[in-house]
């Protein structure tokens, strides 16, 4: 079935142009991205199947190359398209926090960290290293772990902060489960890092936990 064979109110591209991208469902947005279906499978049917197969857009867009390409109708070319689209989105979200810029707002910081950490299937612990005017020196992914957690070594964090000549740091890590609620281990780690960095006069401004669509600040919770 071609796009022209669809009823007018089911043509995603026309609906987007008439009503805006926000008016489209996940399946309709995916259909525009895929452009065509496969032999015997219209693109809207393929889109709905993929969303079910990968449990939604997030699962599809963060699937490994093997998982993605194993599905009939997909392949290396479409996987490359997905990765390029994801990277463009990250770069757009990164623009408010370019290296050398001061932090403009907590919301910019949240968006930046979510774009970096929100799609990993395993836990990653990162630091946003800042100078004494809260301008960004460097974003670094410091430790990676399994879905069960990452081992974080305060001595290595202090070494990296000194190497970057940082005056302050914002920590962040993701919860691959999607639940952003900080654990007792997260709170204890933050206090240990704050104490270790305090010995070399580097301030810990915050520790953010990234979930699926949610970011929790330990500083705002009074947990530091």
Residue 115 has a pLDDT of: 84
Check whether residue 171 and residue 208 sit in a common domain.
yes
**Is 217 contained in some domain?**
yes
Same domain membership, residue 137 and residue 79:
no
Same structural domain for residues 35 and 67?
yes
The number of distinct structural domains making up the chain is: 2
CA angle 214, 202, 137 (to 5 degrees): 65
**Do 112 and 213 reside in the same domain of the chain?**
yes
Judge whether 75 and 63 are in contact, CB under 8 Å: no
**CB of 35 closer than 8 Å to CB of 43:** yes
Instruction: Look at residues 63, 56, 57 and name the one whose alpha carbon lies nearest to residue 79.
Output: 63
Q: Which of 39, 69, 94 is the last residue of a domain?
A: 94
Enclosing H/E stretch for 210:
strand 203-210
Q: What's the token pair of residue 47? A: 């889109």
Judgement on whether residues 88 and 132 belong to the same structural domain of the protein: no
Residue 63 falls inside a structural domain? yes
Give the residue from 30, 64, 94 where a domain finishes.
Answer: 94
The reply to whether 76 falls in a domain is: yes
Give the pLDDT confidence score for residue 175 in this predicted structure: 92
Residue 4 forms part of a structural domain? no
For the entire predicted model, the pTM comes to 0.69
Please name the helix (run of DSSP H) or strand (run of DSSP E) that holds residue 28, with its range, or none: helix 26-34
Same domain as 44, residue 66: yes
User: pLDDT digit string (tens) for 112-147?
Assistant: 898 889 888 889 999 999 999 888 899 999 998 865
- Of 94, 109, 134, the residue that ends a domain is 94
Tell me: the pLDDT tens digits for 37-71?
Answer: 777 788 888 889 889 988 888 888 878 889 888 98
162 is a domain residue = yes
Same domain, 118 and 214: yes
Q: What is the pLDDT of residues 10-40, one digit of tens each?
A: 578 888 888 888 888 999 998 888 887 777 7
Cβ neighbours for 30, distance < 8 A, ≥ 6 positions apart: 47, 50, 51, 57, 60
Helix (H) / strand (E) containing 136: strand 136-144
Any idea what the CATH number is for the domain that residue 68 is in?
A: 1.10.150
The more confident residue out of 93 and 43 is 43
CATH number at residue 173: 3.40.140.10
Same domain? 106 vs 206: yes
Question: Within a domain: residue 5?
Answer: no
Residue 7 lies in a domain: no
Same-domain check for residues 115 and 191: yes
Q: What CA dihedral angle connects 139, 143, 145 and 149, to 10 degrees?
A: -90
Shared domain check, 106 and 85:
no
Domain that holds residue 20: 12-94
Per-residue pLDDT, 169: 97
Residue 6 is assigned to a structural domain of this protein: no
Residue 25 shares a structural domain with residue 83:
yes
Q: List the one residue out of 59, 58, 57, 64 whose CA is nearest residue 79.
A: 64
Q: Could you say which DSSP state residue 178 is in?
A: S
Pairing mode, if any, of strands 168-174 and 136-144? unpaired
Per-residue pLDDT band for 101 (boundaries 50, 70, 90) equals: low
* 123 in the same domain as 189: yes
Length of the chain (residues): 224
């Amino acid at each position: 079935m071609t796009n022209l064979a669809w009823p007018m109110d089911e043509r995603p591209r026309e609906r987007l142009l008439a009503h805006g991208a926000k008016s489209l469902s996940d399946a309709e947005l995916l259909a525009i991205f895929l452009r065509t279906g496969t032999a015997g499978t219209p693109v809207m049917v393929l889109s709905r199947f993929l969303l079910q197969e990968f449990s939604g857009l997030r699962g599809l867009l963060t699937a490994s190359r093997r998982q993605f390409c194993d599905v009939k109708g997909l392949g290396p070319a479409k996987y490359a398209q997905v990765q390029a689209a994801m990277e463009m989105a990250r770069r757009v979200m990164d623009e408010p926090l370019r290296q050398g810029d001061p932090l403009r707002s907590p919301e910019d910081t949240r968006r930046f960290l979510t774009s970096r950490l929100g799609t990993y299937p395993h836990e990653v612990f990162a630091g946003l290293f800042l100078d004494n005017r809260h301008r960004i020196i460097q974003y670094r992914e410091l430790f990676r772990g399994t879905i069960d957690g990452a081992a974080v070594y305060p001595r290595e964090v202090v070494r990296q902060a000194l190497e970057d000549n940082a005056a302050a740091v914002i920590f962040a890590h993701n919860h691959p489960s999607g639940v952003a609620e900080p654990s007792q281990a997260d709170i204890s780690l933050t206090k240990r890092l704050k104490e270790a960095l305090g010995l070399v006069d580097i301030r810990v401004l915050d520790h953010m936990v990234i979930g699926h669509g949610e970011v929790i600040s330990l500083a705002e919770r009074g947990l530091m």
